[in-house]
Amino acid sequence: MSDQRKGLTLRAVGLGLLIVVLIDVWATYVELYSRASRLTMDHFPIALFAVLLVLLSLNSVLRKFRLSELSRSELLVILAIGFVGAKMPVDGVAGYLLGTISSFYYFATPENQWSEFYHPYLPAWLVPQGADAIWRHFFEGVGAERGIPWMMWALPLFWWATFIGATFWVSTCIIVVLRKQWVEHERLAFPLAAVASRMLADPGEEGGFPSLMRNLLFWVGIGISSILFFWQILSWFYPGLPLGDFFPWISQFQFWRGSRSVVINPFQFFTLGFAYFAPVEVLFSVWFFYLVNVGEGAIFSRIGYGLTEAGNDQYCSTPPSLAWQGLGAMGFMVLWGIWIARRHLKDVFRKAVDPGCEVDDSGEIISYRTAVWGGLLGLAYMFAWLHQSGMEYRTTLLFLTGSFIIYIGMARIVAESGVPYTWGSVSAQSFVMNALGTTGMSGYGMASLLLSYSLIDYVRGFLMPPMAHVARFGDMMGGGRRRLLLAVGVGAGVSLVASFIYTLGLAYSNGAYNTYGWPPFFGGDPKGVFSNTLSKVRNPFPTDWARILNAGAGAVAMGALTFLRSRLLWWRIHPIGFVTSSMINTNFLAVPFFIGWGVKSIILRMGGARLYRRGMPLFIGLMVGYVAGVCLCSVLDMLYFPAQGHVVHTW
């Protein structure tokens, strides 16, 4: 792969913008209309991975005919744009946001009393205002040919876009401040970026295929995945055949009644592939601490210890005692990371105050001065925006604090462990309500917190994990880093607008209530959040000290594990597993990470680093075959099973 075109080029940016729009349309149609697999829910989106495969194949053809191929740097630019742009459709932004702000009026009834408890406090600049007939058109469908009332949506979506833009900017600034600490001092593995780097690392012989594609193990991996997908697809067309399902999982195993389950998904090759590139002690800790978490739950249940469900929302783990333990552990992890980075942070602030000092920030996508002062301005805008939407000052401060602890924590978890999907144990909204209590919150404050669920993003860290990888791609690019952020920002904006337009068009054509989506964005999910919040309004409670104490216990336990790892050379248990153990979807990670830990441990013990490197093509091949299978299934669903698709890829 020729690297004559270093850095950022116009054609790379143009291709990146085109690709994010295609991903928006593809993922939205497949998930909301075809009712098939979820293509953008991963931190390395399946849809983007598929596009990377197409581009690499196209490069091989261009190279064969001695035409101008895409360079490694250009492909990294496209990946960077795609990582952030793919956050905008469906369950990233568009699905949750449009589903939440559209549900206040259509689903209001005299019985649920939303008109009494919510409607007077909703800011018109954030929630579209329209007659009942207009909302019926949206939810029940009238056909796009009758027109979409764009002006009704324009003002609210504009203001939401400014807040999303501010979040993107502040996330970027924080990542710039932390990048050198994570990459150069702590040397986090970044398994998602490592897989991409390995796929782009083989230029191959002149006129031939990349060396990865000439490796037998690579094709063995593709073959294993492909055979399993082919076997499952046969059962769709020939239901009478005694064929079992391999995807998305085989079954679930529950240790005892009421315990958390383990999803039996040994063929989740996408997760397994990233696991191969993660450190062994991290892999062990993820599945080991999940079992510890299950055991804790059993002990708590046996002795009758627990917290009330009243303070939870549907985005929190269960039981609440372990969920808040996980939040405390994450809080300690983030604060400890800041503490050990104190010397680096001192240099960052020196450079921000005195641009002429010797601290080098040439390797960052923006200068430290811009990151520090620009980040503070971005935070000020977010604070003012939230306060103007109805939040009291202390609520706003605590909400932003909780949100960015979760954002930074999730970015670190993904960068260190390579988990392709995450779901935090406690949402920032639940954290605020339980830390402050709802007795002192006004109607405007509760309505504003309710509106903030529009950007819940499964408590995955929102834009911080993708921006951490954008910065890592910037390291790999070499030149053009300072222009990369502009390209990524434009890509995010284009993707957001395209997602809004296509999702609204699909809703007005077919009826938003008739779309699928999981969670059901235009129905069950908003109604669940609204009802849950309303119960807290009707039955207000003070600060829940039991939850705060559980979070404190989690922080203390995390501190002890961190101390043991830093002081005892023989201590191989990584504390990050304690944080992930309370996440909602760790039961989907346990089996692939267990397999990855076992295989990688054996390989390193038998053949060391050399055998480990020789095994990389096999696991990349498993991922490539898996992604190709998911994409083939989505195409077959669109052609042969419209609106009755098959979900072969989820957590």
Interval 210-231: pLDDT, tens = 778 888 999 999 999 999 999 9
Q: Quick one: which H or E segment has residue 263?
A: strand 261-264
Identify whether 149 is preceded by a cis peptide bond (ω within 30 of 0): no
> Is position 57 within any domain?
no
264 three-state secondary structure: strand
Q: What is the pTM of this model?
A: 0.94
Confidence at residue 205, expressed as pLDDT on a 0 to 100 scale: 41
CA distance 599 to 442: 55
Confidence at residue 144, expressed as pLDDT on a 0 to 100 scale: 53
Confidence at residue 513, expressed as pLDDT on a 0 to 100 scale: 84
Q: Which of 381, 434, 486, 498 is nearest to 92 (CA)?
A: 498
For the chain of 651 residues, list the mean pLDDT of each consecutive stretch of 10. Answer: 64 96 95 86 95 92 82 94 96 91 89 91 92 80 74 96 98 97 96 93 52 89 95 88 81 80 92 97 97 92 84 86 96 98 96 91 93 98 97 96 97 96 93 93 93 88 96 86 93 98 90 75 82 90 95 98 93 95 93 97 95 95 96 92 86 77
Instruction: Give the residue numbers spanning the domain of 217.
Output: 39-44+71-621
Domain count, the chain: 1
Q: Which of 527, 535, 541, 550 is nearest to 433 (CA)?
A: 541
Confidence at residue 212, expressed as pLDDT on a 0 to 100 scale: 83
> Is position 519 within any domain?
yes
CA end-to-end span of the chain: 33
Helix H segments across 418-513? 428-436, 443-452, 464-477, 481-510
For 611, the token pair is: 């055998």
Confidence at residue 206, expressed as pLDDT on a 0 to 100 scale: 38
249-297: per-residue pLDDT in tens? 888 888 877 778 889 999 999 999 999 999 999 999 999 999 999 999 9
Q: CA distances (Å), 368 to each of 359, 364, 485, in order? A: 10, 8, 14
Confidence at residue 499, expressed as pLDDT on a 0 to 100 scale: 97
Average pLDDT value over all residues in the chain: 91
> Is position 577 within any domain?
yes
Bridge partners (DSSP) of residue 261 are 254
> Is position 454 within any domain?
yes
